[in-house]
Amino acid sequence: MSVRVLAGLADALPLGEAWADAAVCAGVLCSVEDPAAALRELARVIRPGGELRFYEHVPSSRPRAAALQRGLDATGIWRRAMGGCHTARRTDAAIVAAGFRVERLERFSFRPTLLDTPVAPKILGSARLP
């Protein structure tokens, strides 16, 4: 199996329709301007039955942590400091809304440093196009 890496923008990939067997999103959907557009573009370039693998962060299920995330997003401080990252985006819901069928989803917390607290709730999984 060969892997080919190409430069492009999330909402305008330099690939034809149904060109790829699979794609990977890792820490992308939080920072793109329009995650729905990025996912539509992935759905366009992944062949029917193809796979999307993802590793992203999601809103916390803990009320105080979720409030911290919403506060950071509202002020824009985190976004400016962290390359456009929105801490409370529902990337899991966005993947489903784009037409992908989630096959595997693991939720966990990963916080190697205190600075990672706002983005500690993670999802890791795979989804397929019908």
In CATH, what number does 22-128 get?
3.40.50.150
What is the distance between the alpha carbons of residues 102 and 126, in angstroms, rounded to a whole number?
Answer: 6
Residue ranges per structural domain of the chain: 22-128
Res 104: pLDDT: 98
**Tally of CB atoms within 10 A around 75:** 10
Res 3: pLDDT: 78
pLDDT along the chain (130 residues), means of 10: 83 94 94 96 97 97 95 94 95 97 97 92 97
Q: Is the entire prediction scored with pTM above 0.75?
A: yes
Which residue, chain included where needed, has tokens 């190409």? Answer: 6
**What are the structure tokens assigned to 88, written together?**
């409370």
